[in-house]
Structure 1
Amino acid sequence: MLRLAVVLLLLANAGYYAWTQGLLREWGLAPVDESEPQRLQQQIAPNNLRLLPPQRAPGDVGTQAALAAAPASTPAAAATAAAPESAASASATSPDSAPDSAPDSAAASAPASAPAAPAPTNAASVANTSRPADQGEPRVCLQAGVFDADQAQSLRQAAASLPGGSWALEPTTIPGRWMVYMGRFADDDALARKRAELRALKIAYDRPAAALEPGLSLGRFSTEEAAQRGLALLVGQGVRTARVVQERADAPGFTLRLPAVAQSQRARVQATLAPALAGKTLRPCSS
Structure 2
Amino acid sequence: MLRLLVLVLLLANLGYYAWTAGHLEGLLSIPPSSREPERLQRQVRPEIVQIAPPADSPRVPSPAATSAPTPQEAPASPASPASPASALPASAVAAAPAVCLEIGPYTEAEYAGVEATVTQALQGVDWSVRRQERGGVFLVYLGKYPSREALLRRQEELRAAGIRAEEVRSSPQLEPGLSLGRFTSRDSAESRALDLANRGVRAARVITITPAAVRVQVRIPAADAALHSRLDSLAPRLLGRQASPCSADTGAST
Please indicate, yes or no, whether the TM-score normalized by the shorter chain is above 0.5.
Answer: no
Specify which structure has the higher proportion of helix.
1
**Structure with max Cα Rg:** 2
Relative contact order (alpha carbons < 8 A, sep ≥ 6): 1 or 2 greater? 2
TM-score by length of 1: 0.26
